[in-house]
Chain A
Amino acid sequence: MIEPQSNAKAPVPATVYTPESSLAHPARMAREMFHDLLAARELSWRLAVRDLSAQYRQAFFGFAWALILPLANTAAWIFLSSSGVVSVGQTSLPYPVYVFVGTMLWAIFMDAVNAPLQGVTASKAMLAKINFPREAIVVSGIYQTLFNAAIKVGLLLAALLLLGINPGWNLLLFPFGLLSLVLAGTFVGLLITPVGVLYTDVGKAIPLLMQFLMYLTPVVFAMPREGVAATLFTLNPLTPLIMTARDWLTGGSPEFLGYFLAVNAVSALLLLAVWVVYRLAMPILIERMSA
């Protein structure tokens, strides 16, 4: 006999299903959310281990794939900038380092954006048939993003040291930069998931939109100092995240620290809100998945 995990000796717990929206009882909903998140701990870890080991077991180049794409991207931009096709502006760092670090960080952000929708789509069959904490898919996606990010950052650091760039003590702060990228990415990803599960258009439109967004973020371009571009870059909440993370990794001093902290606080709140949406959406989505 297996006892329910939290209230082992309590009388048989009752679960009630009614047509009412869970939002009608916010306190109960909050309790259920954190209970499920707790219950999802082990499962999300297992799912992450399952997906990662399957992913790397089946790929000949294994971890190298984490590096190949940003490296190819970097090469393209170094070529574009050195041949004078595109003028990327003045950077404090040597441009190759600037663009390499930028594309790496952007790739981590994109991993986080893609993870929730990919996870839910891949688990459709499971979701339609088994009632397990739905948070597990999202948390497992975060684990996988962090794991892949760790590999990317490890390779990045090795490359930086080879190029003679010393991050200094600021490196200790870099994990916060990384986490804030994953936090913001997870928020965006989870926001689009409910609609993305219903309509595949969303999954197709996201890479396009994200490509556009990348050019409004100081990833490959330097931060513009004046004009419309400067305003757009400054309004883009991803700017402080990318800039701060890059500065911490390369020994620069972040100029947007206050903005960075504000963006993080807002994304944390927003993530909480889309978590609620995700929970409410799941039964509706599951109904349509196999309908």
Chain B
Amino acid sequence: MSDTLIKVEGVSKKFCRSLKKSLWYGMQDLGNELLGRRHGGNGELRPEEFWAMKDVSFEIKRGEAVGIIGRNGSGKTTLLRMLSGLIKPDQGRIEMYGQVGGLIALGAGFNPILTGRENIYVNASILGLSKRQIDAKLDEIIDFAEIGEFIDSPVQNYSSGMAVRLGFSIATALNPDVLLLDEVLAVGDESFQRKCFERLGSLLDQRDKVLIFVSHNIRQVERICSRGILLDHGHVLVDASSSEACSAYHDKTLKDDYASRRARGGFSNYTGSGEISVEEVHLFGDGSAEPTDEIVMHAPATIGIRFHCHNMIEKPEVILGFHTQDSIYVASSSSYTLSRQPDLRPGEHYLECRVPDLMLVPGIYFLRLAFLDKHRRNMWDGHKLNPFKVVQDVRTNVMHMPQMTLVDMPFSWKVDGENIPPQSNS
């Protein structure tokens, strides 16, 4: 038995921008299909069409967990839909071995009027289970979903979390050889998400499955997957270990953000009252006078802000902080914690804030900056300013750092009274 479960060779797919044309092309494709012609013509584009996926090839073997990442519109979902056989490729060839299960839609086919129990049978048969198989798994499904006595009330009385739990629980009970997951873990509360990860983990521990995981949440991908495929405009940009692919994704995001900011000229992610205009925000590494977008973990960093006050501002509060791509605020500082709040005269000012030890773990972060007046009214409030990358230092062994960590605080450990120093990377 071959170990390769998925083989994708030179696959391309085109889509159409205009709805009217798309419907008409649909009729043409239908006609061609009935005449036995190849789907997608000879690789030419009709007006308003574009390649949503172009010349994608890869192979996936048993035991691999592959994260498919990329920005919106990079072709992740298109790829997943072709892998599950929902749509045909326009070029190339896809071979899938074994039973394929897709968690693309949780709770597909749920009828709100029927009870949870009735819906389990419907949903599981859509996913390909027979009545006998569902009977055998019913208790497990109900248990995992934590639905309790609600199982016999109509699904329309469920909270959205309950419906999602029931859907996930049915879908993973299928236990296929190839499991396709599309953004499904973005739903549900935290404790349920943890349970989902545990179930996926136990699935992967069997070593003979393939998991394909599509997500915007890069940290989830890094956590679950061993391999990462970075898509960009329908091309495979990187196909490597998940940490390499995720880091390439970070670099790409950084570059794209910079390019779009340069194209726009100045900041756009802010709201302001017009009393203050922020002209420049720069990040400096240790002792350097050149602005940078890369800081070494645990090194000092300085943020310089050049701004203009249009009138006299008494005792403003300045807040500066860092947040992640998914808008988690990691750390921030307020000038109101200082011993004195200077007044700002009309005109140009320069503010400098130094962080002696940047404890952020490697990844992409953004600056957040806000000016408030003494009544705490917002004068200027910006997010997603200055994307920057924190890179690994030589000292810290990030390989053994727990995942889902954002800040690397100094911890010191003692075992039976004996101090144990941290492992060094070099």
Contacts and interface: CB of A to CB of B under 8 A. Distances in A.
Interface stretch (A99-107, A203-211, A277-285): A277-285
B251 interface: no
Given A126-B109, A129-B86, A130-B104, A14 B34 contact: no
Given A2-B99, A285-B26, A21 B32 contact: yes
Interface residues of A, number: 51
Interface stretch (A110-118, A181-189, A193-201, A214-222): A193-201
B40 interface: yes
A228 interface: no
A46 B128 CA distance: 12
Interface in B117-135: 118, 121-122, 125-131, 133
B127 A50 contact: no
A186 B130 CA distance: 26
Interface string A3-47: 011000001111111111101100000000000000100110011
B39 A19 contact: yes
B175 A12 contact: no
A interface: dominant SS: helix
Nearest to A279: B33
Interface string A220-249: 000000000000000000000000000000
A221 to B, nearest CB: 37
B175 to A, nearest CB: 6
A43 B125 contact: yes
B177 A281 contact: no
B114 A50 contact: yes
Contacts of A13: 97-98
A126 B107 CA distance: 9
B386 interface: no
B203 to A, nearest CB: 11
A268 interface: no
Nearest to B104: A129
18 contacts: A12-B97, A14-B95, A14-B97, A15-B100, A21-B36, A21-B39, A42-B125, A46-B125, A50-B109, A50-B114, A50-B122, A53-B118, A123-B109, A126-B126, A131-B86, A280-B30, A287-B15, A291-B16
Interface of A: 1-2, 4-5, 11-21, 23-24, 39, 42-43, 46-47, 50-51, 53-54, 57-58, 123, 125-132, 194-195, 198-199, 277, 280-281, 283-288, 291
